[in-house]
Amino acid sequence: MTAPTKPPYGTAADSVSERAPGEPLHSPVIDWFDEHARDLPWRRPEAGAWGVMVSEFMLQQTPVNRVLPVYEQWMARWPRPAGLAAEAPGEAVRAWGRLGYPRRALRLHGAAVAITERHGGDVPSDHAQLLALPGIGEYTAAAVASFAYGQRHAVLDTNVRRVFARAVSGTQYPPNATTAAERRLARALLPEDAATAARWAAASMELGALVCTAKNEACHRCPIAAQCAWRLAGKPAYDGPPRRGQTYAGTDRQVRGRLLAVLREAHGPVPQAALDRVWHEPVQRARALDGLVSDGLVEPMPGGLYRLPLS
């Protein structure tokens, strides 16, 4: 999209290369966020740290519009970690519905158990303790500490990485996997004040989700268009390694999803014959079912029966 003759914020003289890396970006991005941030349930005070954690698990590789109804049902059923921890893991898989990547449900259940046993049912605020929970990686620990507790951490999801790649590094897309250089840049861009840093983390993420998108970026609505290194360079085309696609039709992921759908909708164990009906190709079907069993998402039982996990 062609940039406007006069960008809505700042001037080209404010290029990030002429000042401290983050300084010219913080205020316009945070001001934009204050005006345009979506009203999402996990951003409301009543969500608490548990609501933030649940949303972070669900939002991994899944768009907001698909997450919203499942999140609302989940939080209504399990408003505290202890409630989820008291249920069988299979109930987490059942409630996960069709969000995809259902191992996230098992990991969230495992985190709830650990929170209940180690932290009295309260999501810890300490970053190291968050990182020690089952299923919590670098990104999720930083996101919960930042969004739930207002701490100063670099929160690097795909949207943030794309904003930083364009605005600061001058490239259309970030690398396929997060690099040490990206982490250093993210830390360098953090505001010194913890509360401002937490706001910056949320704001830069929202900017990538709504404006600086992977395709059809809306530079005319961007609060840092005038400082964007990629835009100022004429938007050079990406020339890095091929970007990963997300094919689904015909893959083992699709077969796994269909098998799990049968088990989620059943009120008891399911016979092999019921699972065989969901996919015509027996070798791929067997491979997908074996994978679900290996991942702990399905429990085989005597007599050729299968169920969602109870332990």
Active-site hit among 18, 35, 46, 56: 56
The answer for 225, left when phi > 0, alpha when psi is -120 to 50, beta otherwise, is: alpha
Q: At what angle do helices 23-36 and 194-210 cross, to 10 degrees?
A: 70
Task: Note whether 99 and 67 are within 8 A (CB).
Answer: yes
Q: How far, in Å, CA of 162 to CA of 9, rounded?
A: 20
Q: How far, in Å, CA of 111 to CA of 287, rounded?
A: 28
Helix, strand or coil, per DSSP, at residue 271: strand
**Burial grade of 265 (CB within 10 A; 0-12, 13-18, 19 or more):** exposed
Known active-site residue 206: no
Q: What share of the chain is helix, strand, coil (3-state, %, to 5)?
A: 60, 5, 40
The torsion angles phi and psi of 124, rounded to 5 degrees, stand at -65, 150
Residues with catalytic annotation?
A: 56
